[in-house]
């Protein structure tokens, strides 16, 4: 024992000496410890795959006011488009000797102000001479640092950066300050030489394509608004602050940029959004071949999703954007002259598949269809399944845990438990929904539903207001509201049920239209809407595109003599937004027999899923676990194992 202890002490001393030697080496500069490059004076050499250019020295100031610059850049056209108004506070960031500063100062007038920022004192001296000569006194000159523009917080209507952003050695720190300097509705305008256009006579290092600008600005918490493409060599891109920046912000902006280029039929603009290899279902093709086969110059494209584009977690760290709309007529092209392999093309119903590359830059990696039994699949013959659905049960059908069975921990703990066990996310209530959504998305999952119970006489109540707030927090994701409707508080013959329903649903459906969030009526045994049939009556009455029904297995069994939901599911199909499942006894009466872990009880779960397969329904499925006495982790594991077993059939 003594020998062993002495050996351990010796090893401990040697370890300490080695650690101290490494630290000394690091402090002397002989060992490079990992650190944030923007904490060093040199800054970054690359950002999201782009090599950062060097800043032009003040010795080249005369080039900034060259006579031919108006002809090459049409600055007057740019300024007319910018439409700077009197009284505004604007910034010319990277102002140099003031080519744009002076006209901006004239535009804002005596009641406005221009902040002119540059790194080099000599540039600001030259600017001062020009301002004095022109008699302009509404400009504040600021010598910024490599990582801080030294601008006031929250005061600027616009920040203009002309051929500047691509030279920032500390882009993350600088852009954080610039973002903070904008008013809530302020805009940031980047003007850069077009990287997509090889005809622009500027070195590639000093050009930026639209896709690279969009993805980098997304990384800085900015949202692309519009672009101006009427300049000879440059494009101007406008961005606004995104108030809620989550892990999906970057892929969302890339998906939007890709779809805008697709809508413009802009092959040159599409190219930088794409990965080197595009996966069309299971078929890999080069991006050049993909573009050559999209037929962008022929036929009409369907209406593409706008700002309400929905993103959800995909396999292996991907993010799925869609679903894309289904056109009236399929147009199936062949990409190969020597093969009759038909492949899905933009315009077919499906989703974009996005992935972050090794540099952290998001790209469109593929396109896959979602509709089972698609005519396209019939044309494939023996060529294989390009839709990604496969012959097995639809693996695309998300399966998530409802918070009726995720224990009593904090929202973060319950969401984390569901995600870490392998569920596709969680179903939650109306409280603290943004927090739960963030946890799910950080773990590559989703907040799939928010459950709320309202009485028919709660058209204006704290619970209704919280519901509307929760709906706003779901925008841009796959989550939906599950709305259960109870009878009025008191049985009152004078209560107008028709008016109560109208008052209740009108604001909810209006917000659903504005946010893109779906509203699924949730049948609850003993409530005013107690069956799926009751919910379908309201769906038919309102005929709203975002109003549907959640089929709830346990409440179906509680309220029906029949145990086969197939016919009802077929009737509900046009309005079916989600399904909940659990183990159950088909003739059970008490809730502990109607709600059990999956795999227990005699209800034919495989038959229910087979019915959904035949109907072609691939929506989200929630696991009901209300009242189950087992510890959460234990019964969730049982149900997840049973679910996975059904997917192999």
Region 536-556: what's the mean pLDDT? 96
- The pLDDT, as a whole number, for residue 62 is 62
User: What distances in angstroms separate CA 33 from CA 36, 43, 48, 169, one per listed residue?
Assistant: 10, 15, 21, 20
Instruction: Using pLDDT thresholds of 50, 70 and 90, give the confidence band for residue 264.
Output: confident
Q: What is the pLDDT of residue 370?
A: 53
Number of helices followed by number of strands (H, E) in the chain: 22, 26
Please check the confidence at residue 257 and state whether its pLDDT lies above 60.
yes
DSSP β-ladder status, 50-51 and 621-623: unpaired
Please say whether the beta carbons of 140 and 166 come within 8 A: no
- Give the model's pLDDT for residue 289: 77
- Give whichever of 57-71, 336-350, 390-404, 445-459 has the largest mean pLDDT: 445-459
Give yes or no for residue 57 having a pLDDT over 90: no
pLDDT for the residue numbered 470? 94
Instruction: State yes or no: pLDDT of 33 exceeds 50.
Output: no
Pairwise pLDDT comparison (278 vs 114), residue with the higher score: 114
End-to-end Cα distance, the chain: 59
Domain edges within the chain: 71-245, 267-383, 399-647
d(C-alpha 372, C-alpha 615), whole Å:
9
pLDDT at 618: 84
pLDDT of residue 521: 98
Looking at residue 377, what is its pLDDT?
Answer: 38
CATH of domain 399-647: 3.20.20.150
* Contact indicator for 343, 332 with CB cutoff of 8 Å: yes
> What is the pLDDT of the chain when averaged over all its residues?
84
- Position 25 scores a pLDDT of 40
126-146 per-position pLDDT tens digit? 999 999 999 999 999 999 999
Q: What is the mean pLDDT of residues 445-456?
A: 96
Residue 456 pLDDT exceeds 50: yes
Residue 589 burial class via C-beta count within 10 angstroms: exposed 0-12, middle 13-18, buried 19 and up: exposed
Q: What percent of the chain has pLDDT over 90?
A: 66
Q: Binning pLDDT at 50, 70 and 90, where does residue 69 land?
A: confident
The 8-class DSSP code of residue 114 comes to: E
pTM of the model: 0.82
Q: If you average pLDDT over residues 574-591, what whole number do you get? A: 95
Q: Which residues contact 616 (CB under 8 A, 6 or more apart)?
A: 371, 372, 373
Lowest pLDDT segment from 65-79, 375-389, 620-634 = 375-389
pLDDT tens digits, 283-296: 788 887 777 755 44
371 pLDDT higher than 80: no
**Residues 375-385: what's their mean pLDDT?**
35
Q: Residue 379 has what pLDDT?
A: 36
* Residues 135, 112: Cα–Cα separation, whole Å: 15
pLDDT higher than 90, residue 366: no
pLDDT confidence of 263, banded at 50, 70, 90? confident
pLDDT above 70: residue 297: no
How sure is the predictor about 28, in pLDDT bands with cuts at 50, 70 and 90?
Answer: very low
Residue 22: pLDDT over 70? no
**Residue 327 in contact with residue 304, Cβ under 8 Å?**
no
**Does the pLDDT of residue 216 top 70, yes or no?**
yes
Contact of 388 with 368, CB cutoff 8 Å? yes
Whether pLDDT at 108 is above 70 = yes
Maximum Cα interatomic distance, the chain, rounded to a whole number of Å: 92
The per-residue pLDDT for 7 is 43
Bigger pLDDT: 384 or 411?
A: 411
Q: Specify the DSSP class assigned to residue 57.
A: P
Residue 571: CA count within 13 A, CB half-sphere? 13
Q: Which residues is 208 bridged to in the sheet?
A: 194
Tell me the average pLDDT across 223-247. 92
What is d(CA 532, CA 182) in angstroms, rounded to the nearest whole number?
50
Secondary-structure class of domain 267-383 per CATH: alpha beta
Superfamily designation of domain 71-245: Vaccinia Virus protein VP39 (3.40.50.150)
The confidence score (pLDDT) of residue 367 equals 78
Q: Give the pLDDT score at 391.
A: 35
């Amino acid at each position: 024992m003594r020998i062993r202890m002495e050996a351990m002490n010796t090893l401990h001393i040697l370890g300490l000496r080695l650690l101290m030697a490494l630290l000394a080496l690091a402090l002397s500069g002989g060992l490079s410890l990992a650190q944030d490059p923007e904490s060093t004076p040199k800054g970054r050499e690359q950002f999201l795959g782009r090599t950062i250019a060097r800043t032009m020295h003040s010795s080249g100031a005369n080039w900034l006011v060259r006579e031919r610059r108006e002809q090459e850049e049409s600055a007057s056209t740019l300024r007319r488009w910018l439409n700077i108004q009197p009284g505004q506070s604007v910034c010319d960031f990277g102002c140099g000797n003031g080519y744009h500063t002076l006209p901006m100062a004239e535009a804002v007038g005596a009641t406005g102000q221009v902040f002119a920022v540059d790194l080099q004192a000599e540039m600001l001296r030259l600017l001062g001479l020009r301002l004095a000569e022109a008699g302009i006194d509404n400009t504040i000159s600021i010598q910024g640092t490599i990582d801080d523009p030294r601008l006031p917080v929250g005061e600027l209507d616009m920040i203009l950066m002309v051929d500047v952003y691509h030279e920032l050695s500390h882009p993350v720190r600088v852009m954080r300050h610039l973002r903070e300097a904008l008013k809530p509705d302020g805009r940031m305008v980047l003007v850069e030489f077009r990287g997509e256009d090889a005809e622009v006579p500027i070195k590639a290092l000093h050009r930026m394509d639209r896709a690279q600008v969009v993805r980098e600005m997304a990384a800085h918490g900015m949202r692309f608004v519009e672009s101006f493409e009427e300049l000879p060599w440059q494009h101007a891109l406008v961005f606004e602050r995104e108030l809620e920046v989550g892990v999906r912000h970057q892929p969302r902006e890339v998906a939007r940029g890709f779809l805008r280029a697709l809508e413009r039929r802009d092959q040159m603009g599409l190219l930088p959004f794409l990965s080197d290899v595009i996966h069309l279902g299971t078929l890999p093709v080069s991006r050049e071949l993909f573009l050559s086969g999209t037929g962008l110059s022929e036929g009409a494209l369907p209406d593409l999703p706008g700002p309400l584009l929905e993103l959800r977690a995909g396999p292996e760290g991907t993010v799925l954007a869609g679903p894309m709309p289904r056109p009236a007529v399929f147009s199936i092209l062949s990409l190969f002259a020597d093969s009759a392999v038909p492949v899905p093309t933009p315009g077919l119903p499906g989703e974009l598949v996005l992935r972050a590359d090794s540099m952290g830059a998001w790209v469109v990696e593929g396109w896959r269809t979602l509709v089972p039994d698609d005519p396209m699949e019939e044309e494939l013959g023996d060529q294989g399944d390009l839709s990604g659905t496969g012959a097995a049960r639809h693996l695309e059908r998300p399966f998530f845990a409802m918070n009726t069975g995720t224990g009593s921990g904090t929202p973060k703990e319950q969401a984390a438990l569901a995600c870490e066990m392998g569920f596709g996310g969680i179903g939650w209530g109306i409280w603290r929904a943004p927090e739960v959504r963030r946890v799910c998305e950080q773990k590559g999952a989703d907040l799939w539903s928010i459950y709320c119970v309202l009485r028919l006489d709660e058209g204006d109540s704290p619970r209704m207001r919280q519901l509307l707030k929760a709906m706003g927090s779901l925008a841009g994701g796959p989550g939906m509201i599950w709305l259960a409707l109870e009878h009025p508080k008191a049985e009152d013959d004078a209560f107008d049920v028709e008016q109560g329903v109208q008052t209740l649903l009108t604001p909810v459906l209006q917000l659903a239209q504005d946010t893109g969030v779906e509203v699924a009526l949730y049948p609850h045994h003993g409530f005013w809407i107690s069956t799926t049939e009751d919910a379908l009556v309201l769906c038919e009455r309102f005929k709203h595109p975002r109003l549907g029904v959640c089929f709830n297995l346990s409440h179906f069994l509680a309220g029906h003599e029949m145990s086969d939901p197939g016919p009802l599911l077929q009737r509900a199909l046009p309005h079916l937004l989600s399904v909940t499942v659990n183990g159950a006894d088909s003739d059970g009466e008490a809730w502990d027999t109607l709600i059990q872990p999956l795999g227990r009880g005699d209800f034919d779960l495989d038959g229910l899923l087979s019915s959904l397969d035949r109907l072609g329904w691939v929506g989200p499925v929630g696991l009901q676990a209300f009242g189950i006495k087992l510890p959460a982790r234990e019964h969730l594991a049982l149900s997840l194992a049973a679910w996975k077993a059904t997917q192999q059939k």
